Amino acid sequence: MSLKEDVLKLKKEKNAIILAHYYVDGAVQDVADFVGDSYALAKKAKNTDADIIVFAGVKFMGESAKMLNPDKKVLMPDLNADCPMAHMASKAVIKRMKEEYEDLAVVCYINSTAELKTMADICVTSSNALKIVRSLPNKNIFFIPDGNLGAYVKKQVPEKNIILNDGYCITHKRVTLKDVEKAREEHPNVPIIVHPECVNEVVEATDFAGSTSELIQYTVENSSKEFVIGTELGVLHEMQLKSPDKTFYPLSDKLICMNMKKVSLEKVYDCLLNETNEVFVDEEVKAMAEKSLDRMLELAK
């Protein structure tokens, strides 16, 4: 039997569900029950009746799944697959901001540790950030940890005073304006589409910015037969599956998240077989952090 078949068999025997992010290896996406971006995955994690959730993604995603579904066993193929941006905000700075602005809402991108989420009023993902920020009654908003997504939201929602933090995604930050210019030369008249985790000057120079699922949707609905893709290149797997007759060019070959790529099919199999790498979230942290996640799921409906 192939490793893929072994995983599928084991999954059935253990009543397990495999949730995979679009950024993990294609071979892992192919054994998953559900592949999605962080918003879709959080919703799935909340609504499953499986006994075990194997979360093929980075640590904050496993933590969120555990908080949304505390009675389930959540396993991660590699506990060292961690998103550096998830740590890029300071609790001391958040406290200071709260003192400075009486009506401050701390809006926390889901790409953050459970610890940081304890300081948040509400979580967002890139799929629902605009909708949620617009719907908040607060004028002053501290957007953590991603300064680039924060700047994108600020531009789209000018009626709010959005204070930016200086966190960033090490993967999307590698794309430069030069890459955009080069792609325009090599692929004239081809839409260049990017994730708003890219730096602002890149977002502004391209044709469309959106969340992972919005980018995939764009390539399905747009009549162009070619696209230049400015996000983690794992999404090409789904784009190609959805549009086999279209051609996708990477905006940069540096768009690889090394942490997402730590998740391999072998590790998926091992963690499910031995039920290792279980995710635990401290009770006190969970009690404070889960409110911001639940509030997101409520407001994003």
Residues annotated within the binding site for iminosuccinate are 21, 38, 109-111, 126, 195-197, 212
Task: Give the distance from CA 112 to its chain's centroid.
Answer: 10
Q: Please pick, from the candidates 126, 259, 277, 292, the single residue that binds ligand CIZ as defined by CB under 6 A.
A: 126
* Stretch 35-64 residues interacting with ligand SF4 (CB under 6 A): 58
Element holding 118 (H helix, E strand): none
Number of other CB atoms surrounding residue 295 within 10 Å: 16
The reply to whether 111 sits near ligand SF4 by the rule CB under 6 A is yes
Give buried/exposed letters for 50-81 (b at 16+ CB in 10 A, else e). bebbbbbbbbbbbbbbbbbbeebbbbbbbbeb
Show the DSSP H helices in the chain as ranges. 3-13, 26-29, 38-46, 59-68, 91-100, 114-117, 129-135, 147-156, 177-186, 200-205, 212-221, 235-242, 265-274, 283-299
Q: How far is the CB of 197 from ligand CIZ (least distance, A)?
A: 5
The reply to whether 125 sits near ligand CIZ by the rule CB under 6 A is yes
* Stretch 98-117 residues interacting with ligand CIZ (CB under 6 A): 111
With contact defined as beta carbons under 8 Å apart, do 99 and 86 qualify? no
Q: How far is the CB of 23 from ligand SF4 (least distance, A)?
A: 6
- Report the residue number, 138 or 206, with the smaller CB distance to ligand SF4: 206
Number of other CB atoms surrounding residue 117 within 10 Å: 29
* Binding-site size, ligand SF4 (CB under 6 A): 13
Q: How far is the CB of 155 from ligand CIZ (least distance, A)?
A: 18
Q: How far is the CB of 158 from ligand SF4 (least distance, A)?
A: 25
The reply to whether 215 sits near ligand SF4 by the rule CB under 6 A is no
Q: Please pick, from the candidates 29, 38, 128, 206, the single residue that binds ligand CIZ as defined by CB under 6 A.
A: 38
Q: How far is the CB of 261 from ligand SF4 (least distance, A)?
A: 9
For residue 122, the SS3 value is strand
Q: How far is the CB of 100 from ligand SF4 (least distance, A)?
A: 28
- Report the residue number, 22 or 269, with the smaller CB distance to ligand CIZ: 22
The reply to whether 48 sits near ligand CIZ by the rule CB under 6 A is no
* Distance, CA of 280 to CA of 259 (rounded, Å): 20
Q: Binding site for [4Fe-4S] cluster: residue ranges?
A: 83, 169, 257
The reply to whether 257 sits near ligand SF4 by the rule CB under 6 A is yes
For residue 16, the SS3 value is strand
Task: Give ∠ CA 253-241-265 in degrees, rounded to 5.
Answer: 70
Give contact residues for ligand CIZ (rule: CB under 6 A). 37-38, 111, 125-126, 169, 195, 197, 211-212
